[in-house]
C-alpha cells in the first residue's frame, strides 16, 4: 500500500501514540470476528445475547460451554503479522500504549509488553461471587467450573454487556487517548462503548486519527487517514514505510 507522505512524516516523529484493536486484528490469525464468530450450534445465537450476566444467570451451562468452545477455537491460533508489527512499533514510539477489546490474549503472545485488556481475557476465569482468578479449575457434575474457595460457579474473566469495565484499565485507556498525538484504531467496528469513545477523546485533544479496517465504520468520517485493508498486511507495510526508512537513515 502507498502511504501519504504526510502520514509517514507524522509517524516518523511521533512521541505519543495510542492503539486500539478489535476482533479484526485477530481475524488473520484465523479467529472469526466477534460479530460473525458464531458457527455450528452457536450460529442460532447472537454473541451479544450470550455475552451477558443475565444469560449466565438464566443458563450457566450454555454460557460456560460457549466459552469452552471459544477457548477450544483459540487453541493453536497464533499471532499474525499485524500483532508483531505492533510490537515493533511499540519499540519505536517512546510513549506507546496498546489497548485491546479482544479477549484472545494474542497481543501478549506476540510479545507486546503491556496490553490494556479492556474486556478481559477468555483464558482466565473468576468466581461469580468474588474476584479470585483461577488459571485452571475443577468442573462440577454439570461441567461448569467450580470456585476452589467457595465452591460457587466460576465464570470467564471477561466483561459482559451491561457490565462495567475494570475502572483502572478504562482510566488508563482514556489517559493514553487524551495524551496521544496519534490514535490508531485497528480492526474494530467502533460500536461497542465505552471503547468506541476512546478515539473521540483523542481527537478532542487534537490527536490525528488513523483507522485500519477492511471496511468503513462509524469512526471513518472522523479520521485523518482511513487505510482500507487487512491489518495483518497494512501494519507491517506501515512499519516498513516509516521506521525501516529511519533505520536506513
CA distance linking residue 218 with residue 187, whole number of Å: 13
Q: Residue 199: which H helix or E strand, with range?
A: helix 198-204
Catalytic (active site) residue 119: yes
Task: Spell 14-40 as b/e; 16+ CB within 10 A means b.
Answer: bebbbbbbbbbbbbbbebebbeeebee
Q: Which of 107, 119, 123, 225 is catalytic?
A: 119
CB nearer ligand BV8, residue 8 or residue 192: 192
- Using CB under 6 A as the binding rule, the residues of this chain from 25 to 84 that contact ligand BV8 are 27-28, 33-35, 48, 51
| Set of cell numbers at residue 62 | 450454555
Q: Please tell me what DSSP assigns to residue 210.
A: E
CB nearer ligand BV8, residue 225 or residue 230: 230
Region of residue 30 (phi > 0: left; psi between -120 and 50: alpha; otherwise: beta): left
Where does this chain touch ligand BV8 (CB under 6 A) — which range of 4-12, 168-176, 199-207, 230-238? 230-238
The 92-131 site mask, x for binding ligand BV8 (CB under 6 A), equals: ---------x-x---------------x------------
User: CB of residue 217 vs ligand BV8: minimum separation in angstroms?
Assistant: 5
- Using CB under 6 A as the binding rule, the residues of this chain from 150 to 169 that contact ligand BV8 are 158-164
Which residues form the catalytic set? 119
Amino acid at each position: 500500500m502507498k502511504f501519504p507522505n504526510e502520514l509517514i512524516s507524522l509517524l516518523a516523529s511521533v512521541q505519543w501514540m495510542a492503539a486500539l484493536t478489535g476482533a479484526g486484528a485477530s481475524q488473520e490469525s484465523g479467529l472469526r470476528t466477534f460479530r460473525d464468530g458464531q458457527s455450528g450450534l452457536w450460529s442460532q445465537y447472537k454473541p451479544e445475547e450470550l455475552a451477558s450476566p443475565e444469560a449466565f444467570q438464566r443458563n450457566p451451562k450454555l454460557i460456560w460451554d460457549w466459552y469452552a468452545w471459544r477457548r477450544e477455537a483459540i487453541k493453536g491460533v497464533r499471532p499474525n503479522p499485524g500483532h508483531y508489527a505492533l510490537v515493533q512499533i511499540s519499540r519505536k514510539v517512546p510513549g506507546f500504549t496498546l489497548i485491546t477489546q479482544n479477549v484472545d490474549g494474542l497481543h501478549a503472545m506476540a510479545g507486546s509488553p503491556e496490553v490494556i485488556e479492556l474486556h478481559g481475557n477468555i483464558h482466565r476465569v473468576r468466581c461469580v461471587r468474588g474476584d479470585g482468578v483461577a488459571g485452571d479449575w475443577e468442573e462440577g457434575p454439570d461441567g461448569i467450573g467450580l470456585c476452589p474457595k467457595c465452591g460457587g460457579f466460576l465464570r470467564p474473566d471477561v466483561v459482559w454487556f451491561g457490565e462495567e469495565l475494570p475502572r483502572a484499565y478504562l482510566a488508563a485507556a482514556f489517559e493514553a487517548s487524551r495524551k496521544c498525538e496519534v490514535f490508531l484504531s485497528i480492526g474494530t467496528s467502533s460500536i461497542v462503548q465505552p471503547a468506541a469513545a476512546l478515539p473521540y477523546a483523542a481527537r478532542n485533544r487534537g490527536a490525528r486519527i488513523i483507522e485500519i479496517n477492511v471496511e468503513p465504520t462509524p469512526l471513518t468520517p472522523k479520521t485523518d487517514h482511513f487505510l482500507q485493508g487487512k491489518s495483518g498486511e497494512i501494519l507491517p507495510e506501515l512499519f516498513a514505510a516509516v521506521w525501516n526508512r529511519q533505520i536506513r537513515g
